[in-house]
Structure 1
Amino acid sequence: MSDQRANLEWRDGAIPVSTRFDDPYFSLDNGLAETRHVFLQGNDLPERFVPGFHIAELGFGTGLNFLTTWAAWEGAGVDGPLRFTSFEGFPMSADEMARALEAFPELAPYAARLVSAWGEDPTLATLEGVEARVVIGDARETLARQDFVADAWFLDGFSPAKNPELWDADLMAEVGRHTKSGGSAATYTAAGFVRRGLDAAGFDVTRVPGFGRKRHMSVARKRG
């Protein structure tokens, strides 16, 4: 397991910013609304939820995307637990996670369970009520060793301009190999090299309106 930790500073006392990548973990406008717009709506969720639905993610960060999805899953009343697999290279501490998630009081019941489990084991082996797993380490190495195929992907690494390693063509190819035919991916970025990488990985990629000040984002559907 990686012993590298997140390096943080706090903007306005509440928003964690990675000093390694000089990028905030969530939107300075409204992180919860951004997650719903980019990752839920971008993957046509919760409309596509069915028993056994599997979401995979690059960049677990604060866990905001996971918690938002977990709440949406339970709100949709789907039978059985959500399956969620995320990849994180630089995990934050449980205290840092708790501090960051205080910004989203409506997720507090879920956040308390996540933070408790994270403090025990950041792979989330002890978290109950959801089939969640966080793979710690460099996704360029760890994803290739996984045997799942996801229904949907959240591509949420730090900005491609500042963290290009998490968006390179080889990693996007692995995302494609770990996506079901007809499966989807969504990301806040519309960077050309990311869209080209997804296209080469077998996705039809569309640029759509982004959240807040971000003019565009990208959604993708795996070709059959």
Structure 2
Amino acid sequence: MQNQHADLSWRSTDGAGEVPVSERFDDPYFSFENGLEETRHVFLAGNDLPARFADGFRIAELGFGTGLNMLTAALAWQRAGTAGRLHLTSFEAYPMDAHEMRRALTAFPELGRLRDILVAAWAQGGQIALGQTVQLDVIIGDARETLPAWQGAADAWFLDGFSPAKNPELWGADLMAQVYAHTAPGGTAATYTAAGFVRRGLADAGFEVERTPGFGRKRHMTRARRRT
């Protein structure tokens, strides 16, 4: 991976072990309360998963980070026992090193073998097989450049960039329009943030947008759906 790498510090918490914090954006990679449960609340439940899983289902993500969201989706897929294949695609500008990823994910022993597979394969780049039925592709580079060139369309989006106040580039109207353009009819998106300009950007792009209860101390989050 030749792009810029993540610049991290670490904070210890009572409930989440060590949490990596981006020095570039001064923002944690996942909740200090419980990153795994945050992912399940925001990105799985926020996209009505695993109820919508079906053969060939496609999830895309802005902000791969530690890989926690994609591993959580893969674990949910395995536990749901859905026949067929799940396709995961994530866009990341500042990839972690494998040893940093392992350190971050040790807080979540429930991820077990999936975590080990990801960490072992991460340094190789390209597509990663998370078991026999889940394929992960992480696209490295600025999503404002790489997403327009992507040929796919997602059934569900995980919008997980750093805080819009600190990383506004990943939440701009032009990028939200690209998210919409790369969403299948009836597809959805979810994010932990309820920032007004993010919701307006999604709505202006064509999504139906709603504000719903957030995780932990966050009062609200955002869900969106493409009708056609």
* Residue deviations 1:78-133 (CA, integer Å, cap 9, x gap): 11221000000000000000000000001021100000010222x33465532210
- The gaps in structure 1 that reach 5 residues or longer are none
Cα RMSD after superposing both structures: 1.2
User: How do 1:167-182 residues align onto structure 2 when only pairs under 5 Å count?
Assistant: 167-182=171-186
- The gaps in structure 2 that reach 5 residues or longer are none
- Following TM superposition, by how much is the alpha carbon of 1:3 offset from its aligned partner in structure 2, in angstroms? 2.3
The answer on whether the counterparts of 1:90 and 1:137 sit within 8 Å (CA) in structure 2 is: yes
* Residue deviations 1:9-63 (CA, integer Å, cap 9, x gap): 0001711000000000000000000000000000000000000000000000000
2-structure distance, mates of 1:57, 1:140: 13
Paired residue secondary structure (1:100): helix
Aligned to 2:3: 3
Aligned to 1:162: 166
Equivalent position amino acid for 1:77 in 2: G
Aligned to 2:194: 190
* Residue deviations 1:163-194 (CA, integer Å, cap 9, x gap): 00000000000000000111000000000000
- Following TM superposition, by how much is the alpha carbon of 1:141 offset from its aligned partner in structure 2, in angstroms? 0.3
- Following TM superposition, by how much is the alpha carbon of 1:148 offset from its aligned partner in structure 2, in angstroms? 0.9
Report the identity percentage: 66
Task: Find out whether 1:203 has 2:181 as its counterpart.
Answer: no
Query: Which of 200, 203, 227 is the aligned partner of 1:223?
Result: 227
TM-score by length of 1: 0.97
Aligned to 2:107: 103
Aligned to 2:142: 138
Paired residue secondary structure (1:14): strand
How many residues get paired?
A: 223
TM-score by length of 2: 0.95
1-structure distance, mates of 2:71, 2:84: 17
More divergent stretch after superposition (42-51 vs 126-135)? 126-135
2-structure distance, mates of 1:145, 1:179: 14
More divergent stretch after superposition (42-51 vs 6-15)? 6-15
User: Aligned pair in 2 of structure 1 residues 113, 125: CA closer, same or farther (>3 Å)?
Assistant: closer
